Amino acid sequence: MLSRGLLVRHVRCSPSRLALARASVVLVPVNGRLVASPVRFQSTKSAISEKESGKVANEVIRKADGPSTEVVAEGSESKPVEKTKPTIWEKVKHEAAHYWHGTKLLGYEIKVSTKLLIKMVSGYGLSRRENNQLQRTIVDVIRLVPFSMFVLVPFAELLLPVALKIFPNLLPSTYQSKSDIKKKRADLSKKRVSASEYIKKTMEESGLKLSKKISEEEKQAFVSFFDIISMGKTPEREHLIKVARMFKNDQVLDNLSRPQLVAMAKYMSLRPFGTDSILRYQIRHRLLTIIKDDKAIDYEGVESLTIPELHVACSQRGIKTQDVSPGRLREDLETWLDLRLRQKIPSTLLILSSAYTYGEHTQGIDTYYDALLAVLSSIPDEVYNVAKLSMSDDSKLKLNILKEQDEMINEENLREKDTVNNIKDNIQLDEYEDTASEGMKIEEDGSNKEKDANEKGDDKSSDKK
């Protein structure tokens, strides 16, 4: 082993090695001192830092749907995040908490509705929102009667999932989860799409065929409208509204075939069971509630509705609500109210128009007018003949149409011969619509009189000054 002097001597005598040693040594400051550090370690550190910077440069930022972002390196293998399934105990705790909150909500609704019931009994009027709240609570309380049997009877709760599968509306509305509401909306949308397609198909198959020869006794507006349609032209909007007013709700419903009644009941979220008269009664009763609700919404204003109330109101009228903005829903509802209350279009034609626009929802107020034109263009022969009868003075024509109506009555009696029908379909929708429109007239006349009185008062005050 060489001593220190020999090593120094050896380094001094070899200048090439001395230069190599100087080149391979770097002074690095450590804690205020200069310490010699070999270059090979420095190079390895720089190489490591370069590799790290290269890895950082090769990192890929994957943006998720939400605001959070994930940073995944290219070299590392991406492993899918496995979602831990909840245990049975966690599921039981979640369901128990859900039903507990639903019970508390039902109790609070009963408390609020009791006050509303006392207010109504005292003679005070209820607003639309208060009336809906009271009706919803009454329905929920009625649903508690069969639901309580599963709680009172021992081991009957084991059959509760089966009963809910068969009867999904058995539970009160306060116990429904968000997933149940979404599922019901999706099922309703599918049913309405299929029902609207069937309504279009049946209306086109049993469409109106006009003869080229038109009698002179018929009304000019009615005949000219269908004459324009038969020639493939588009009538004016005023002409369309004028002819649509001639058709009445009871005329359209009484002359629709059973497949069309079934499709219309499905579209209006009604169960299509029973005879033709039961179907017509269900549709008339639903239209009657819509007619009354139209007046209430028009009185309070569409802007007063919350978004959930807006969805419910549009869904009751067959207006598409899925993937539609609240602003668009308000425009559609305002168009409905304008056509129904001010233009006096029958509710039955508007429901059929909604079925025509469902599925391919286009923007613009012309959608309902175009759909109304399509409904009148493909209206069944029986409806056209009855409307023609009410305007014609030809006794021969009346005799032929009455024979046709007699045949339809006999066919219905044969179909309902072996069935028990205790429902009396005495609802006259046209009378309710006329009273609603008269109320609109009275309000408009009253507002006009108030405006005239205010203007006269201003004129008198200006004259005095």
The per-residue pLDDT for range 4-38, each reduced to its tens digit, is 444 444 444 444 444 444 444 555 555 556 555 55
The per-residue pLDDT for range 259-304, each reduced to its tens digit, is 888 888 888 888 888 888 888 888 988 999 998 899 999 998 999 8
Q: Which pLDDT score is estimated for 297? A: 92
Contacts of 114 (CB under 8 A, 6+ apart): none
C-alpha span between 253 and 235 (Å, rounded) = 25
The per-residue pLDDT for range 359-416, each reduced to its tens digit, is 554 444 456 778 788 777 766 555 555 555 555 555 665 566 667 667 777 776 676 6
| Type and span of the H or E element at 367 | helix 366-377
**pLDDT, averaged across the chain:** 69
User: 347-357 vs 276-300: helix axis angle to the nearest 10?
Assistant: 90
- Burial (0-12, 13-18, 19+ Cβ within 10 Å), 395: exposed
Query: Are 259 and 202 spatial neighbours (Cβ–Cβ below 8 Å)?
Result: yes
- The string of DSSP codes covering 382-446 is HHHHHHHHHH---HHHHHHHHHHHHHHHHHHHHHTSSS---------HHHHHHHHHHHHHHHHHH
- Going by the DSSP 8-state scheme, the letter that residue 340 receives in this structure is I
pTM as predicted: 0.55
Q: Cα–Cα distances in Å, from 364 out to 242, 322, 346, 358?
A: 21, 17, 21, 14
Q: Which pLDDT score is estimated for 90? A: 80
Q: Which pLDDT score is estimated for 70? A: 41
Q: Which pLDDT score is estimated for 29? A: 56
Select the more confidently predicted residue: 175 or 210. Answer: 175
Q: Which pLDDT score is estimated for 430? A: 63
Q: Kindly indicate the confidence band of residue 62, based on its pLDDT and cuts at 50, 70 and 90.
A: very low
